[in-house]
Chains A and B, each alone.
Chain A
Amino acid sequence: MTRPEIESAARRLAQANGRAETSISKIYWFPDDTEIRLVEVDEESIKSEDEALHPFYFSPVEGVPYPSGIVLIHPDEEGVKPLPVEWRVDWKQARVLFDRKSGEVA
């Protein structure tokens, strides 16, 4: 797998999720060479239960041929809540793959 392949799969997954769920306002991608890493901003989401964000991890499935780690956050947590420690990234590295306000697809 290469990063462009992972980015392409991340883009497809983000667009599928964003278009299907009107409560999702934005989806961020955090580039990685081994897995898809997404943070989805969902107004229906409860807030995280502690001081850090924790992804749920999924094995490859049909349509998403790479492992993925996905975090669901409340809009109040966007850009401020510390990202998963195992990702070793900060919000500055985020790339928007879906933005409902600005016409959906980045």
Chain B
Amino acid sequence: MDWRTAFLVQARSDYEVAVRLLRTPDVPLCHSLHYLQMTLEKLAKGMRAQPGSLAEPPHTHAGATKLVQMLKHTSPISAEFHRVLGMGAFARRMYLDGLLPTIRAVEQMAPAIAKQGSGVNSEYPWIQSSVPAQIEAPCLYGYSEIPQPKIAKLLQLVEALLRSCKA
């Protein structure tokens, strides 16, 4: 198995866990977001590995936002992704533009990235930048950065990415 295949397979597995957690009552949202963040990270890493190559992809936590920005373009490269999404060009553009901030927010929940910014992440407690004395625990945090209606749309998008990004 090459790195690309391994990352894409693991991304699919992370995604399935995220979906199971979201469907399980009383599981704090942080756990689902954690698996969604890992899905996006591994998907982007997989697509950054050349097919058949044994060269490990770069150790970056971000990349999914840029991948979606690229696949948003009308191009032979993105045709399969667009086919799987099954929308007209205008609707697809509105849908993807509307979701890009959510993808970015989830992507930036990787603790390594979050430490440089607001601190909001899905794994470790952090200090609120706006209220320095307030320490947040992910399992109790509301994640207003990710409105609930966006999560269903995000799942649809991730499913389309996983189906169209080929090893």
Residues of A within 8 A of B (CB): 13, 16-17, 20-21, 24, 35, 40, 42, 44-46, 48-50, 52, 54-59, 61-64, 67-70, 72, 86
| Given contact pairs A46-B66, A69-B50, A54 touches B58 in the complex (Cβ within 8 A) | yes
Instruction: With both chains docked as a complex, state the minimum distance between the C-beta of B141 and any C-beta of chain A, in angstroms.
Output: 24
Q: Which of B60, B63, B74 contacts A20 (CB 8 A)?
A: B74
Interface string of B53-74 (1 = CB under 8 A from A): 0010110111101110110011
B86 within 8 A of partner (CB): no
The answer on a CB contact under 8 Å between B75 and A17 is yes
Pairs of residues from A and B, 6 with the lowest C-beta to C-beta distance, nearest first = A20-B74, A63-B76, A49-B62, A56-B47, A57-B50, A17-B75
The answer on a CB contact under 8 Å between B73 and A56 is no
The answer on a CB contact under 8 Å between A45 and B66 is yes
In the complex, A62 Cα to B166 Cα: how many Å?
14
In the complex, A17 Cα to B69 Cα: how many Å?
13
> When A and B form their complex, what is the total count of cross-chain residue pairs whose Cβ atoms lie within 8 Å?
78
The answer on a CB contact under 8 Å between B75 and A20 is yes
The answer on a CB contact under 8 Å between B74 and A56 is no
In the complex, A35 Cα to B4 Cα: how many Å?
17
Instruction: With both chains docked as a complex, state the minimum distance between the C-beta of B41 and any C-beta of chain A, in angstroms.
Output: 11
B77 within 8 A of partner (CB): yes
| CB neighbours of B49 from chain A (8 A) | 57
In the complex, A45 Cα to B77 Cα: how many Å?
17
The answer on a CB contact under 8 Å between A58 and B4 is no
| CB neighbours of B60 from chain A (8 A) | 49-50, 54
The answer on a CB contact under 8 Å between B69 and A44 is yes
Given A46-B104, A54-B58, A67-B51, 13 more A-B residue pairs with CB atoms under 8 Å apart are A17-B73, A20-B73, A20-B74, A40-B70, A44-B69, A48-B66, A54-B63, A55-B48, A56-B66, A62-B76, A63-B79, A67-B50, A72-B66
Instruction: With both chains docked as a complex, state the minimum distance between the C-beta of A84 and any C-beta of chain B, in angstroms.
Output: 9
| Given contact pairs A67-B50, A69-B50, A61 touches B76 in the complex (Cβ within 8 A) | yes
> Which of A50, A52, A57 has the largest count of B CB atoms less than 10 A from its CB?
A57
B80 within 8 A of partner (CB): yes
| CB neighbours of A13 from chain B (8 A) | 75-77
Please name the residue on chain B nearest to A46 by beta carbon: B65
| CB neighbours of A21 from chain B (8 A) | 73-74
The answer on a CB contact under 8 Å between A16 and B75 is yes
Instruction: With both chains docked as a complex, state the minimum distance between the C-beta of A105 and any C-beta of chain B, in angstroms.
Output: 16
Instruction: With both chains docked as a complex, state the minimum distance between the C-beta of B45 and any C-beta of chain A, in angstroms.
Output: 9
